[in-house]
Chains A and B, each alone.
Chain A
Amino acid sequence: MPVFHSKIIVTRRKSILDPQGKAVQHGMHSLGYEMVNDVRIGKFVELDVQASDRAEAERITREVSEKLLSNPVMEDFSFTIEERGA
């Protein structure tokens, strides 16, 4: 069965304050990068999925992202998938 490689990015909803991103932004400003704004910190997860085809790999990636990797109350997610070969 082919193996697919998923890269998932979990981000905090725009409407929710991100104090960590804010602190990092302050750090950048202290370094002199005052042109940098709207710093937001999220999570990056990568994983391999065994699936019969790309559609199934997508379905499984979406399910684990919804059920475990993100909390829909505060986070959104997006992902990309590439085939790794059998």
Chain B
Amino acid sequence: MKVKFGIVVFPGSNCDHDTHYVTETILGQEARLIWHKEGSLGDVDVVILPGGFSYGDYLRCGAIARFSPIMKDVARFAQAGGPVLGICNGFQILTEAGLLPGVLLQNRSLKFICDYVHVRVENANTRFTGACAKGEVLEIPIAHGDGNYFADEDTLKQLQDRDQILLRYCDVEGNVTDMANPNGSLLNIAGIINEQGNVAGMMPHPERASDPVLRHTDGKKIFDSLVESFVPALV
């Protein structure tokens, strides 16, 4: 059985085809691009909100995309327990839509950063990180101007208490330090998951580190995790 990935395309999405390529060609699953004006996701197992600059980042990143017609069905899909992954701009859209807590502010350097970073897997017991080990260091590129994760103290405490932090920026050895924090994110947060465990957002781009031709394949583990999460557990 192939897992059916639905990749939502907003005006200004620019990682949609990369994500489609990785899920269909590299992973060998089914993938379909879904235009944001569609009213329904159709028959999909996983929804991905890809990176890009939806609506030119007008007003705030993701602020207008959340009102796209498809987002109603994305919310319905998420509420029914369907897995939703937001990558970069997709993460920003999920926070604006209230499907994930917090917000992504402008990088503290005020600069757009495009670089390889290291992230440590904080929780490997999710369907987005199941193929990783807890504490494993992944090398995945980031490319964003607004990746500075912020949430109020209560939210941060809840994220920690309920193990909702998926990934944190770290050095090559896995030390979570301020030096290794590219954008000023609180607690070095690079990715989080909702309380129910089916909606995740991450600033790094796993689709840009999945094809062996590019010599970096750590990002593929995120997609592998999703695919493996559909394999019935051996009892």
Contact = CB atoms under 8 A, between A and B. Distances in A.
Contact of B105 (A23, A69, A74): A74
A27 interface: no
B45 interface: no
Nearest to B110: A19
Contacts of B152: 73
A73 B63 contact: no
Nearest to B60: A71
A20 interface: yes
Given A16-B150, A74-B150, A69 B59 contact: yes
A68 interface: yes
Interface in A1-36: 16-17, 19-20, 23
Contacts of A73: 95, 102-103, 150-152
6 contacts: A19-B106, A20-B106, A23-B110, A68-B59, A73-B95, A74-B150
A71 B96 contact: yes
Contacts of A68: 59, 63-64, 67
A69 B133 CA distance: 41
Interface string A54-73: 00000000000000110101
Given A69-B59, A74-B150, A20 B110 contact: yes
Contacts of B150: 16, 73-74
Interface in B61-80: 63-64, 67
A16 B151 CA distance: 10
Contacts, number: 32
Interface in B95-138: 95-96, 102-103, 105-110
Contacts of B110: 19-20, 23
B233 to A, nearest CB: 37
B95 to A, nearest CB: 8
A4 B60 CA distance: 26
A9 B48 CA distance: 34
A19 B150 CA distance: 14
Nearest to B103: A73
Contacts of A16: 105, 150
Contact of A74 (B67, B103, B108): B103
Contacts of B103: 71, 73-74
A62 to B, nearest CB: 17
Interface in B32-80: 59-60, 63-64, 67
Contacts of B63: 68, 71
Contacts of B151: 73
